[in-house]
Structure 1
Amino acid sequence: MATMKDIAKLAGVSTSTVSHVINKTRFVSDEIAERVNNAAKELNYYAPSALARSLKINRTNTFGMIVTTSTNPFFGEVVKGVERSCYHAGYNLILCNTEGDATRMKASIDTMMQKRVDGFILMCSTMEGEYSDILEKLKSVPVVVMDWGPISLPCDKIQDNSLRGGYLATKHLIDKGHTAIGCITGPLVKHQAQMRYQGFKRAMKEASLPINPKWVVEGDFECEGGYQAFAAFNKNGDLPSAIFAGNDMMAMGLINAANEQGISVPRDLSVMGYDDIHIAKYMTPSLTTVHQPKYRLGKAAVDALIARIGNGEHPPQIVELEPTVMERGSVIEAGEQA
């Protein structure tokens, strides 16, 4: 019966490379993988089953990821980073959507536990309260949390600096000469929405600019929220010269509503978004926004989970990735507006 050593000799590679190709434990170039697979086929080599391997080493090389379903492409772009990073690291990924339902989240976690995943990545934009009993079940496995507020579960956390991002977004508008600035927040029960709003207030206070309560509207992180927010601004009287929307989806809804009312962006109203989703630069006008490193967020989560599996003793860590402003066409100098 052929062995990995026989395959390595025929393919002209090391035995460890053969192991990585057959067990999918590390990324190997397509050319080398093809040589190894061809050699294995020629020698009639049969790899042990994944189940047998997992029972032997007590690992399945599989991660579970829980996300909240949303129309926001931001989530999909982060998941893409997670999936690609898993592939390159030799891991499989099981993805489940909760649709914001605690019952579905519990069922998904139970299913993944039964499948013996090596660890969990949680990306659910909500606060801890309703999920506290579910989180208790996860204390026995490595967990990395993304896009979540403070939670008691001792685990690694990967997050953007939303406070800094909200501050940078508002400061960019101020630097463009705007003094009458509005804000569409996300749902303020969510940590990211609260932090971005705090960043907005910090920048306004730093510039000694008043915050008009009529120009602060709470949205829902969806296009409809931005659309409805514009109606609220209109109803309250004069519009500000610029609005910071707490994410790109709400900015898109806002721009659509403004166009319907004959308000030109950016000639009459400058609009600032947050997230820098892929389609932001293809809008008309292209959206000035705060860039979140979505692929890096995904990769950092996978890297942290692998490190946690390798050394579960070190204290939980917080990895915070810094946002940056992407200047495009939806914001102009205040003096250039009609």
Structure 2
Amino acid sequence: MATIKDVARLAQVSTSTVSHVLNKTRFVSPEITFRVEQAIDELHYAPSALARSLKSNETRTLGMLVTASANPFFAEVVQGVEQRCFELGYSLALCNTRGDKERLNASMEMLLQKRVDGIILMCTQVRLGAGLFDRYPSVPLVLADWGPMDMEADLIQDGGKQGGRLATEHLIGLGHRHIGCITGPLGKRAADERLAGFKTAMTTAGLPIRPEWIIEGDFELAGGNSAMSALLAQAERPTAVFAGNDMMAMGALRALADAGISVPQQMSLVGYDNIELAHYLVPALTTIEQPKAGLGALTVDTLLARIKAPDSPRRVLTLTPELIVRGSSQTPV
């Protein structure tokens, strides 16, 4: 592998001149610049990323910690993060925590030891290991939507209360008066905010909120399936259900199909996230669009802004959810 000394020898210049041509840190005559560039091409020379990072004190690498899940929502956000990193010339070191706090802390330690320039945290775990950030107090950090709320870090959030309200108002607008809700795991911000939006819409419309029609799920397929089964086992059933995410809505669709209940003729269903699969379900799922690629890109931009201005005030940015109407919801028969 060619070195900067090899380039300097072939171009008949000093290594410092090669460095100035590469980094554009000093004027070099067009003739000498041409010789250096020609030597670089001939030798297929690539500057050492490690050497550059040691010199500039930056690695141009960002770390990301994400809860491993069957939910495609996470994969679509990560895709947005990766795309933005690529556009800006950064690498991404991705770690899955698998919902395990020890794995989370070990991954965080590894990323910090690798001297990443900043970290994106998208995990549902509420607390990191004690003292972890005390040892690295200056690491730039951004929380992406599902991050813990008790950390002094920039936060990008999805506006779950507004989204839950939009979903429920859609069902009310169709004429439904008996509406249930399958929540995510209560105590998690995303689940709590979407449930709060549901309750706000019901209260504003003067409709009763029936506790037995609010079933806690887990944001996964199995949770949505079991929650809908619990609703169907009751003597009185709602005519419409708002599920706190698309994965639970998909599980609920399975339970409805198994029970011989047609959607939306006998029950309307609304999800949340607008994952790509939602469009391909039968019927296609009415849902709340959460701009996942936009969330990923905005998270990267916010982290880089924090890296450049580490002492700036904390930023809390909220994305705007949007209702996507498809075939799983209609006026009650």
TM-score range, shorter chain: 0.7 to 0.9
Name 1:277's counterpart in structure 2: 275
2:48 is aligned with 1:46? no
Give the whole-Å Cα distance in 2 for the aligned partners of 1:122 and 1:141: 12
The answer to whether the Cα contact below 8 Å between 1:127 and 1:148 also exists between their aligned partners in 2 is no
Give the whole-Å Cα distance in 1 for the aligned partners of 2:39 and 2:62: 28
Superposition misfits of 4+ residues, deviation over 6 angstroms: none
> Aligned in 2, Cα 1:328/1:136: closer, same or farther, shift over 3 Å?
farther
The answer to whether the Cα contact below 8 Å between 2:122 and 2:147 also exists between their aligned partners in 1 is no
Which among 128, 143, 149 is matched to residue 141 of structure 2?
A: 143
1:55-79 CA distance string (max 9 Å, x none): 0000000000000011000000000
Which among 280, 302, 305 is matched to residue 303 of structure 2?
A: 305
Which among 225, 232, 235 is matched to residue 233 of structure 2?
A: 235
Shift of 1:153: 2.5
TM-score (norm 2): 0.87
Shift of 1:229: 0.8
Shift of 1:97: 0.5
Name 2:91's counterpart in structure 1: 92
Give the whole-Å Cα distance in 2 for the aligned partners of 1:72 and 1:94: 20
The answer to whether the Cα contact below 8 Å between 2:97 and 2:104 also exists between their aligned partners in 1 is yes
Shift of 1:214: 1.6
Name 2:221's counterpart in structure 1: 223
Structure 1 segment 159-178 matched on structure 2, within 5 A? 159-178=157-176
1:81-123 CA distance string (max 9 Å, x none): 0001001011000000011111101110111111110000000
Deviates more, 1:98-107 or 1:40-49: 40-49
Shift of 1:311: 1.3
Give the whole-Å Cα distance in 1 for the aligned partners of 2:323 and 2:136: 36
Deviates more, 1:202-211 or 1:132-141: 132-141
Which among 184, 187, 191 is matched to residue 186 of structure 1?
A: 184
- What's the Cα RMSD here? 2.0
> Aligned in 2, Cα 1:123/1:333: closer, same or farther, shift over 3 Å?
same
2:55 is aligned with 1:72? no
Name 2:15's counterpart in structure 1: none
Shift of 1:154: 2.0
2:51 is aligned with 1:56? no
1:255-309 CA distance string (max 9 Å, x none): 1110111000101000000000001011000000000000000000000011111
Name 1:103's counterpart in structure 2: 102
Give the whole-Å Cα distance in 2 for the aligned partners of 1:39 and 1:288: 58
> Aligned in 2, Cα 1:40/1:86: closer, same or farther, shift over 3 Å?
farther
The answer to whether the Cα contact below 8 Å between 2:122 and 2:145 also exists between their aligned partners in 1 is yes
Name 2:330's counterpart in structure 1: 332
Q: Which amino acid aligns with 2:207?
A: L
The answer to whether the Cα contact below 8 Å between 1:149 and 1:192 also exists between their aligned partners in 2 is no
Give the whole-Å Cα distance in 2 for the aligned partners of 1:39 and 1:296: 41
Give the whole-Å Cα distance in 1 for the aligned partners of 2:183 and 2:171: 16
Which segments of 5 or more consecutive residues in structure 2 lack a partner in the other structure? 1-5, 12-19, 25-36
> Aligned in 2, Cα 1:84/1:174: closer, same or farther, shift over 3 Å?
same
> Aligned in 2, Cα 1:207/1:62: closer, same or farther, shift over 3 Å?
same
The answer to whether the Cα contact below 8 Å between 1:139 and 1:153 also exists between their aligned partners in 2 is no
SS in 2 for 1:48: coil
